[in-house]
Amino acid sequence: MTEPIQISFIINDPNAIAAIRGKIAIVVGADGAMNVLTRKINTLTKGAVKRLLESKVWEKVKEGEGHVLAFPANLATSAVQVVKLGRSVSVLEARKAGASMAVFRGDEPLTALLASHARAAEIAHGLALRSYDFNVHKTDSDMILHMVSAMVADPDAVLADHAPMAAVTEGVFFTRDLTNEPANVLTTTEFAKRLTDLRDQGVEVDVLEEDALERLGMRTLLCVGQGSRSPSKVVIMRWNGGGDEPPFALVGKGVVFDTGGISIKPAGGMEDMTMDMGGAGVVAGVMRTLAKRQAKANVVAVVGIVENMPDGNATRPGDVIKSMKGDTVEVINTDAEGRLVLADILWYTQEKYNPVAMVDLATLTGAVIIGLGHENAGVFSNNDRLCKQFLKSATAEGEGAWRMPLGDAYDKLLKSRVADMKNIGGRPAGSITAAQFLQRFVRDDTPWIHLDIAGVASPGPTALAPKGATGWGVCALDRLIRDHFET
């Protein structure tokens, strides 16, 4: 796994500033207010910071962004970044400032002079998240983890505040690594192995192989992978930190590569289908986070891992498949495969674990990108209370999410002539009919959310992520669990 940068929190020491090598970042309020460390920088540079603050350049700098003073006089550092950040800023503004410092840092050591800033831990969190770099397959990659330090008034207090955020960073990085991996590396077998490695973190992990899935009747899941040489699997992860309480459930689509099957996709952009397991990747990242921070919650996670390939044995358009629930599905389009995977594991999760609530995640439809772009995930739910809780968590974490409708009129579009339902409802309202399909495999008494993350799983770069996988959803779901499902 890509290791997050290690940030050391050290005591304020104005006398040590002149000798700091690498790069330095300082924070200044929009009103020009300087802390004790920033004033020391200004004195050493003979007023260079003050001159910047009085210039037209500073007026154009936005909150959370910075301006660089290169090779400042009387300092050993190669550059000083002056970041505009007041003392009463929001959590998200503080993280944005930290992300700006990460971009400024590049591949050099960095010292952030934060003094007594109230959001020091959040600044460090943003810095860590934006420092991600997936370079494992580059032969000339620099694997050195350069030192990052934050000079603060109370290092122990800031470290304590930052510890649970560091656990979230690990979860996000785990998700990004899984989602960024090419399909020849992250095969179904390798994906399952990486999830079983979570046992080292205290997570209970079981893997169901194809023979077990056959016995359980998971035919809609199995039909997706029957054209691939890679075996289909279901991986179950359990974090038991909440006593005897019924578990909260996470369910994820893990299609390691999606050609579309017999309904094959166009060649242009197909390479991005390595990320079609992004929902399962988020689920895995949340489980790693819960384990790292020793969450006082019971959470079960179920992911279906398959590969959708064209082959002489592949499922054909027009085939009728019987689900684990017992309903039959006419497969109109084999490229609408994610819902077939989720149908069986949603039903299995409820039958086996009777969860208090359930959230599924999937890069499910291109239609949700047409509707919401890359700014928001589509949110579908049968429970207003749970949905409001999630949307509040997503907003607090700066992860865009927008509730979409469900209804009988959309459900009628799935009517089949030869089976209980079709797996697609046509072009109109494509993301909604996909959610309506999934709802048929959710009990009426199970509070449920479906998150269509096709637009947000990998649109990078974003404020907190470089180009590629974003890890969207780890932060919001961890907060949802922390705020509403911990004992």
Please tell me which residue in 238, 265, 296, 403 is annotated as part of the active site: 265
Cα distances from 435 to residues 336, 338, 403, 425, in angstroms, run 12, 11, 12, 11
Among all chains, which residue has been given the structure tokens 């959610």? 435
Residues 6+ apart with CB under 8 A from 211: none
Please tell me which residue in 325, 339, 422, 479 is annotated as part of the active site: 339
Q: Report the amino acid identity of residue 235.
A: V
Cα distances from 148 to residues 4, 85, 143, 180, 458, in angstroms, run 11, 19, 15, 25, 27
Our CA angle for 340, 346, 349, nearest 5°, is 145
Which of 150, 108, 151 is closest to 21 using CA atoms?
108
- Beta carbons within 10 angstroms of residue 179's beta carbon: 28
Q: Residue 329 forms beta bridges with which residues?
A: 321, 421
Contact 242, 482 (CB under 8 A): no
Q: What is the rounded distance in angstroms from the CA atom of residue 401 to the CA atom of residue 398?
A: 9
Q: What is the rounded distance in angstroms from the CA atom of residue 256 to the CA atom of residue 264?
A: 16
Q: What is the rounded distance in angstroms from the CA atom of residue 418 to the CA atom of residue 477?
A: 39
Q: What is the rounded distance in angstroms from the CA atom of residue 392 to the CA atom of residue 484?
A: 11
Q: What is the rounded distance in angstroms from the CA atom of residue 328 to the CA atom of residue 155?
A: 60
For this structure, is 412 an active site residue? no
Which of 349, 356, 352, 354 is closest to 486 using CA atoms?
356
Q: Report the amino acid identity of residue 287.
A: M
For this structure, is 265 an active site residue? yes
HSE-up of residue 114 (Cα within 13 Å, Cβ side):
31
Query: Cis peptide leading into 461, omega within 30 of 0?
Result: yes
Q: What is the rounded distance in angstroms from the CA atom of residue 162 to the CA atom of residue 114?
A: 14
Q: What is the rounded distance in angstroms from the CA atom of residue 194 to the CA atom of residue 305?
A: 12
Just list the catalytic residues: 265, 339
